[in-house]
Amino acid sequence: MVSKASVIWSLKELAHCIRQRQINKYDANIGVSGNRGDGKSTLLFKIFNSFKNFGFDPEKHQQYSRDEIVKLLANEKFGFCWDDEAINSGYKRDFQAKGQKEMIKIITNYRDSFNIIGSAIPFFYSLDKDLRELIYMHIHIIERGIAVILIPLETSIHTTDPWDTKNNIKIELQENTRIKKNPRSRFRYNRFTTFAGYLYFGPMTDKQEKRYLEIKKRKRSRAFGIEDVEEKLDWNQKVYKSLKDGRLDRETLQTMCLMEGKKYSAVATMMNSMLTDEGEERTMTQFFKGPKKNGYHNKDKDDINELLPLL
């Protein structure tokens, strides 16, 4: 009998499995998690690029706006949707937002459209619970080029959590404790009850990466209402400028901190310090823009793109 720990998928096998699920008229929602820079987008590109002969087109299917994703899913049939920054469309803090509810409704109601949906997320459990339960495959990138494949439990009778979260949390804590005692040992991902194997993947070609970044830059700027990127500023300066210009609110800053891997409290301290240095008597929160006025159109998170690293 083959050990679970020795199960290694090829990218071709993974793509074939996903495509067959679509052909057999099942929804195919994939979540790819991992640290920033470890290759979430690279892996999703390589998966979707396997379907180019079946109609995948990054110009159409690589998206950054919740509204565009909803529109795409409502009109695609046996198609594709690459949500390259799902933290913008599915982050759980936004559950009560109208757009979030609409997206959950669209994905649920259009499950019989049999689209392949791939979402890049820093942390799997930052996704809204309802969206998380619609995912049938979770791929976590351990380090660049190496990922672990996790599949929800479908035969469970006594639990409503297909990801067996409580048990897997215990396993993760046990493994971390073991590694702390013996740093030379490795994390045994195969102990997870949802473990389905490992995956190795390589980088994009230079041509592929160039096109991917061009589409990302253009569509993300459009999604957040920023058509032109200003002069190079470091991240703190961009945040500070947007704050002083009255274009920042708490939710936008919290989301950006999460995307950038920064602590909100540390950034708040930095902003208040910069305000004090300039002789400002108001604090950061007093600079946050107020609620939208009736009849005034203003896109959510208009200025996030200004805070992102330049490509």
What ranges do the domains of the chain cover? 4-207, 231-307
Per-residue model confidence as pLDDT tens digits over 4-50: 767 999 999 999 999 999 999 988 999 999 988 899 999 999 999 99
Nearest to 89 by CA among 111, 61, 121: 121
- Tell me what the mean pLDDT of segment 123-127 comes to: 83
Domain 4-207: which CATH number of 1.20.1250.20, 2.60.40.730, 3.40.50.300, 3.30.390.50: 3.40.50.300
Confirm whether pTM is higher than 0.85.
no
> Considering the chain, what percentage of its residues have pLDDT values greater than 90?
49
Q: pLDDT class for 159, splitting at 50, 70, 90?
A: low
- Tell me what the mean pLDDT of segment 112-120 comes to: 92
Give the residue, 60 or 308, on which the prediction is more confident: 60
Q: Is 7 exposed, middle or buried (0-12, 13-18, 19+ CB in 10 A)?
A: middle
Give the residue, 126 or 155, on which the prediction is more confident: 126
CA–CA separation, 150 and 140 (whole Å)? 8
Per-residue model confidence as pLDDT tens digits over 244-291: 888 888 888 888 888 777 889 999 999 998 898 888 889 999 999 776
